[in-house]
């Protein structure tokens, strides 16, 4: 089994984001981490390898600092890591990034499964997975909550998708692109043995030439989507009211009246 898992480095969930007048988003010196949804994809990739053999390569498109996210993935148990970057890729939108990732996956070659988290917590679009699947011409199994069966010899897979309406069982041929939801597993801790391995691992950087990316399709200038304006959400307001009364019954009934008036119950 040749498994690829893609990850994006994002600001920590605890970071306070600021947006200035020019629509620039910043998060001070808050740490950058693996996109939390991707941890489930990484865990699932490692479990597939442990069950069926083969190897897991973790892939990220991003600047030099994204190396840390790749190391974290190797510390969890991925075998190899590849960083894809050069200055021309800066500012690529989801359309371009899915193209870049698909080109990198083609270069890795004979891949059976590509795994993603369901979305990234910064952009929150969840578009990349579909884009990559389309460009590779492989089926997309999104929002997977369980891999029921995988038969590497027959090149078939059966999964359980978690949808708003319920669960859906889907069977597909390999190779496939999968996006996972958090119900699928519990991501493991990196082991100290793997942390040590990650700290010594030489991570190659593939530039756009290495993966035959056409210059006209990537970068800020060629983005199909434009962020016309970014603004922070208005702060939520709320108030606290302590309900008093002569007896617990009176307090409870006052509370019930208020909840009904607000159409909460």
* Contact residues: other proteins, CB under 8 A: 188-193, 195-196, 199
CA-closest candidate to residue 1, choices 147, 212, 197, 206 = 147
Select 35 or 129, whichever has its Cβ closest to other proteins: 35
Reported as type and span, the H/E element at residue 52 is helix 36-52
Between vectors from CA 206 to CA 50 and to CA 111, what angle results, nearest 5°? 35
Q: Pick the closer one to other proteins by CB: 129 or 194.
A: 194
Q: How far is the CB of 224 from other proteins (least distance, A)?
A: 40
To other proteins, the closest distance from the beta carbon of 76 in angstroms equals 10
The rounded distance, in Å, linking the Cα atoms of 246 and 250 is 6
Instruction: Kindly state the smallest distance separating residue 16's Cβ from other proteins, in Å.
Output: 22
User: What's the first-to-final CA gap in the chain, in angstroms?
Assistant: 52
Q: Which is nearer to other proteins, 23 or 199 (CB)?
A: 199
DSSP H helical ranges for 122-241: 128-136, 192-200
Q: Please name the residues in contact with 136: beta carbons below 8 A apart, sequence gap of 6 or more.
A: 102, 105, 106, 114, 175, 177
CA angle 89–90–94, rounded 5-degree value:
75
Smallest distance from the beta carbon of 14 to other proteins, in angstroms? 14
Angle at 47 between CA 42 and CA 48, to 5 degrees: 100
- Nearer to other proteins by Cβ, of 31 and 209: the residue is 31
| Residue placing its CB nearer to other proteins in the complex, 158 or 197 | 197
CB of 24 to other proteins, least distance (A): 31
């Amino acid at each position: 089994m040749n498994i690829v898992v893609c990850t994006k480095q994002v600001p920590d969930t605890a970071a306070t984001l600021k947006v200035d007048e020019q629509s620039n988003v910043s998060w001070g010196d808050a740490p950058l981490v693996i996109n939390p949804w991707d941890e489930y994809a990484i865990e699932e990739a490692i479990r597939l390898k442990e069950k069926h053999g083969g190897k897991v390569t973790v892939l990220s498109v991003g600047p030099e600092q994204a190396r840390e996210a790749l190391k974290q993935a190797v510390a969890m148990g991925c075998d190899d890591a590849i960083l894809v970057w050069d200055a021309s890729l800066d500012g690529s939108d989801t359309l371009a990034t899915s193209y870049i990732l698909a080109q990198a996956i083609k270069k890795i070659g004979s891949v059976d499964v590509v795994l993603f988290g369901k979305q990234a917590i910064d952009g929150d679009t969840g578009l990349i997975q579909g884009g990559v699947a389309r460009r590779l011409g492989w089926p997309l199994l999104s929002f997977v909550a369980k891999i029921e069966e995988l038969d590497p010899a027959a090149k078939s897979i059966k999964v359980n998708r978690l949808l708003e309406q319920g669960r859906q069982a889907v069977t597909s041929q390999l190779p496939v692109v999968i996006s996972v939801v958090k119900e699928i597993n519990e991501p493991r801790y990196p082991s100290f043995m793997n942390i040590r391995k990650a700290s010594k691992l030489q991570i190659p950087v593939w530039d756009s030439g290495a993966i035959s990316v056409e210059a006209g399709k990537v970068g800020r200038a060629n983005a199909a989507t434009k962020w016309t304006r970014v603004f922070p959400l208005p702060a939520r307001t709320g108030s606290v009211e302590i309900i008093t009364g002569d007896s617990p019954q009176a307090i409870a009934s006052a509370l019930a009246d208020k909840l009904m008036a607000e159409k909460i119950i």
